[in-house]
Each structure stands twice: as structure tokens, then as C-alpha cells.
A and B are shown apart, each in its own frame.
Chain A
Amino acid sequence: MSYKLETVLRIVKLGLNNFWRNRWLTLGATLLMTLTLTMISVFLLFSFIVRDTAEAIRSKIDVTIYFTDDAVADEKIMALADRIKSQPNIQEVIFVNKKQALEIWQRLPINEDVKKPVSDSYNPLPRSLQVDTTDPDEIQGVVSSIEIADTEKLICNECVSYVKNKDAVNKLVSITRLVQRVGLFLSIFFGIIAIFNVLNIIRITISARSDEIEIMRYVGASNAFVRGPFVVEGVLYGVLGTIITTLFIVLVSQIASGYISITADVLNLSFGAYVLHYIWQIIGFQLLIGVILGVVVSVISMRRYLRA
């Protein structure tokens, strides 16, 4: 066995031994690390959801053309749809007839008293064309395309709705941004508290070993041997914290999957599946934060024992 490898193995063994020997303390530190990582992961997941839903909603910005005049024949509207479809920037044009409009109406989450009067026999709901755009920021271009396609002047004034729609979406997006900021603030706040706890408990685990550090220094241990085991221990906190946090998050997300509908509604993905979709990114982030935090805190806390 090479000399270097023997040294590294010995340092790792010292670190593992220390970890095991003070297992109640190190368990505490691991749990606090888990708490910190959970906090960070929840925030990460939360920002992913906000980002993805905002994007999904934005991509749903479409242009809807209402036909309030029931005298216009369905065929004419469908012909117009074909002409619009042939314009640039247009992804799809869907015709919603009176029957479909009624179905949509009945599914809307609004007061039954308002809903009831509208029925097959009394249906004042307008037919519409939903124009999906390839690029939501190019709405103005789409609107002019529609005007060009409307050779028969079927479309009345104020019947093309997009501005209102866009405002609503922008509002929604800015609300999600606000929520995201509040979330960031809260997780930084709790994150700092958690980090202080990690710092404190690692300090305690190290002071429990001050005798050993003292002896190491008396017998002339090289700094790698004094510091090395604590680096190993720091890595261990990060890795164990990541494993526990990941198991916890996956478990909770699968159980809660049915109760959290936002991802299913907007992204067509159950919450559980959504979390799994991002699980590697979350694990990577946890490992990065956990290991850096564990090592930095360990090394900083033991520095005062290295003095002189």
C-alpha cells in the first residue's frame, strides 16, 4: 500500500471513529444539518414550482376572438380560423362552439346562482377562436395577422381579447415573484438559525475531543492529521444530511401528492412526479451546501485548538 493512500485511509478512519464514538452528539449535528438542508430544499422546490408555473401560465397567453353575433355561420368562422392559421407566429387555432362554451362555463369555479340560468335552451355565451401563439411576447404581431386574415370583417371591435388577459397574467407572475421573495427571505432567516445550530453542535462535538487534539499536538502530529478527521466528519454531516433529507422529501411528496394540486393543474404533473423530476438537482444542491457547510464549520470550530 502506498504511503499516501495509507495516510488518507488513516485520516478517514479517525474521522469515522470520532463520528461513531460521539454518536449522540454527531447524530444531533446530523439532524440539524438535515433541518438546514430540508429548509434549503423546500425553498429550492418552491422556486422551481413558481418558475415553472409562471412560465406555463405565460405560455398560455393566447388571443381569444369572441363572436357575439350569433347570426354569423359556424362555417364562416371556421374558414377564418383556417386563414389565421396560415399566418406566421400562429401555433394553433381552436374553434369553441356554443355547446363547448356552455361546457366550459359549467366547469368554471363560480357561484351556482350565476351559472344556473345559462343552459342548452338559453345560451348567450359567445362562440370563440382561441389563437395559440408560438411566442407570447409577439402578441402584437399576432393581432395584426388576425386583422389581415379577417377579410370579411367578421370580427367586431373589442372582441379580440388579449390585453386584459395579459395584464391578469402579468399580475399573477408578479404575485408569484412576491411569494418567491417572501419565501427566499423566510428560508434565509430559518437557514441562518439552522446554520448557527449546526455551528454550535459541531463546536460541542469538537470540544468533546479537545483532549485528543491536545495529545496529537504534543506528539507532533502534522496538521493534516489534526484537521483531516474533522474534514471527514464535515463531509459526513453533509452526505448523511443529504440522504435523510432526500428520503424525507421524496416520502412526503409522494404522500402529499394527491393534496397538492398546483403542479397537476398547471403543469399536468402530479406533485410527487414533479419532485422526482427535479430530484437530482435537489440532491446535487444539498450535497454542495451540506458538504461545504459541514467542512467549513468543522474546520473553523477546531481552529482555536490549533493555535500556538
Chain B
Amino acid sequence: MTTDIQKADQEILRIGAPAKSERKINTSSKPLIEFKKVTMQYPGRLAVREVDLEIREGEFVCLVGQSGVGKTTLIKLLTIQETPTTGEVYVAGRNLADLRSKEVPLYRRKIGVVFQDFKLLPQKTVWENVAFAMEVCGFSNAEIAKRTEKVLDLVNLGRRAKNYPHELSGGERQRVAIARALVHSPKILIADEPTGNLDPVNTWEIIELLYRIHQKGTTIILATHNRQVVDRIQKRVVLMKSGKIVSDQHGGKYVI
């Protein structure tokens, strides 16, 4: 655990250094994430149909499509909240279906997730919300204090540490959620409609933060149906329509 933290600290220190994304993404190596003919059948609803998708380390992927097309389902398959009806999901070469139940929590620490509704605990302060994510993973108090301070500084909320979520703006709340998602220095950060509840100013603040995190080397998956956001980011755009991927373009725009 300690080595992870140290590595993470180094990663954070790297912010401001030359952006990793400006280096060429290595397309010859094995993909970090791989969906192979994945189908997800809910009772009475086919949410994902034979999806093939590869995401390489260091990519910024916008997962777009109208409400109900299966974006969240795809994310749930990646966080092992659902298991595919058919097909396989590989992360770093490992089939997620093969993970033993004890390995699942450890796997989840490698992927950070943020949501439209933030999912903060209302009775905990900003600091406590972030520290909680490490407490329940068994880190020592000293490690937690050090790390919490770092990630809160990273999202620029060091001064709001003692505030409760209801005392913050929507954008600030989402930044707390992002800080929490970063405590384990995940390789992948998944954001499911993170700006869905935010006004334009706060939206850009969050997108800018995600971009910064991406620049230090984290793979980002951003599910959204906000056309302006997608068009402005100018990264890879994966478009879904009724459970299928209908287009996949680099430096793309949100086209229907």
C-alpha cells in the first residue's frame, strides 16, 4: 500500500510537468480496457448489445449518446456492479469475470468513479468524505492525513476541508467527489455524467479538472450527452445508440 501511495504522490507532483497526453499514445501495446462482444441483458431489457471496445492507457474517451442508450450499463460492467450476460471485459489483460471476490475491492481501488449526483455523505465534512474512502480500505491515520490533504489541494479545495457538502456549490461538491475518486491514485477515472447537475461555469471547471488529471497520465472515461463539452474537448468520441457503438472517432465531435 505504501508504495502505491508514494507512486501516487509522485504522480501528483508531476502536474505542471509536460503533459503525458501530448506524447503519442502507444497503439501497438495491449489495450488497458477491452470489451469483447459484450451483451448485457436486464430482465426485459437488452441494455448493451455485442459491444467491442478497446481503450488504451492514457486515453481520454467521451462516451456519448442519448439517455437510455447504455452508457451507465457499460460503466457498471467496468466497475463489476454488473456482469455481462455474454462476452468478456478485460482490464490490464485480466478477465473481470475471473477476479475472486476478495480481489474485487482491490480492483475497484484502481478505478475511480464519479457520478452526476456526487454521492457524498451529507453528515461528513469535505475532509471526512475524502478520508472515509481511505479509512474503509484500512490505511493508517498518518497515510490518510497526508493523502487527503494532497488530493484536496489537487482539486483546489484545501480551504473548504471543514465544510459540509450542503455548504458547497455543485461544482465544489463534484470536485470533492473527484478528490475522493483519486485517493487511491487510480489508473482509470470514470465520470458518469459528472456535469449533469451543474451550470455552465461549474461544468467547465469540472471538465478542466478532468483534463488536468488526464494530463498527468490517468485514463479518463467521460460519459455525457452534453454536446458542447464533447465538441470542446476534441478527444476520442464513442457514440452509442440503443446499446450499440455506432461510431468511434478520434479528435471527434458529437454527431448524431
Contacts and interface: CB of A to CB of B under 8 A. Distances in A.
Contact of B106 (A211, A220, A308): A220
Contact of A216 (B79, B113, B136): B136
A259 interface: no
A222 B105 contact: yes
Nearest to B138: A7
Given A212-B121, A308-B82, A219 B140 contact: no
B40 to A, nearest CB: 13
A67 interface: no
A218 B137 contact: no
Nearest to B184: A220
Interface residues of B, number: 29
B30 interface: no
A275 B72 CA distance: 62
A221 B119 contact: no
A10 B82 contact: no
Contacts of B204: none
Contact of A308 (B81, B119, B133, B140): B81
Nearest to A4: B138
A221 B140 contact: no
A218 B136 contact: no
Nearest to A215: B119
Interface in A215-237: 215-226
B218 interface: no
A271 B149 CA distance: 63
A112 B231 CA distance: 108
A221 B82 contact: no
Interface string A192-212: 000000000000000000011
A107 interface: no
B109 A21 contact: no
Q: Which 9 A-B pairs have the closest CB atoms?
A: A220-B109, A221-B136, A220-B108, A219-B133, A225-B136, A220-B105, A216-B136, A222-B105, A7-B138
27 contacts: A3-B140, A6-B141, A14-B135, A21-B123, A211-B121, A212-B121, A215-B119, A215-B132, A215-B133, A218-B79, A219-B108, A219-B132, A219-B137, A219-B180, A219-B181, A219-B184, A220-B106, A220-B108, A220-B109, A220-B137, A221-B105, A221-B136, A221-B137, A222-B138, A225-B136, A225-B137, A308-B81
Interface of A: 3, 6-7, 10, 14, 21, 211-212, 214-226, 308
Interface of B: 79-83, 101-102, 105-110, 113, 119, 121, 123, 132-133, 135-138, 140-141, 180-181, 183-184
